[in-house]
Amino acid sequence: MRIVSIERSPPGGTGKVVRVERPRRGLRILRDRWDVPHVYGKTRADGEFGAAYASAEDRYVFMEQLRGAGRIVALDVPGIDPFALATSGRQFVPTEATEQD
């Protein structure tokens, strides 16, 4: 993600503000009707935190999907390719035997 410019006003003309988030003091994240985040912070650190917050919120499902693949790598489960599992959209459900190891 790259921050191109800093604006002082809400998104102009192109999208109506649908949702406003304030994850911490000094930071506003406005979402337009296409769910595009517009991050406004009082300081550069606020803007960077807001960009990371919006990215994490948008990619939650993908990160949740990768958690199972991460467990497979850590457990070294034979016969299962962690990358193929992560990109297939399937969930990894460990058995009791796997959990005991």
Place of tokens 């506003």: 28
**CA 50 – CA 22 distance, rounded (Å):** 9
Using the predicted structure, report yes or no on whether residue 41 has a pLDDT greater than 50: yes
Predicted confidence at residue 5, as pLDDT, reads: 41
**CA 17 – CA 59 distance, rounded (Å):** 21
Among 23, 13, 55, smallest CA distance to 36 is for 55
pTM of the model: 0.56
Chain segment 44-95, per-residue pLDDT in tens: 999 999 999 999 998 887 777 777 666 666 667 677 777 777 777 666 666 7
Strands (E) across 7-91 are located at 17-21, 27-32, 37-41
- DSSP annotation of 79: T
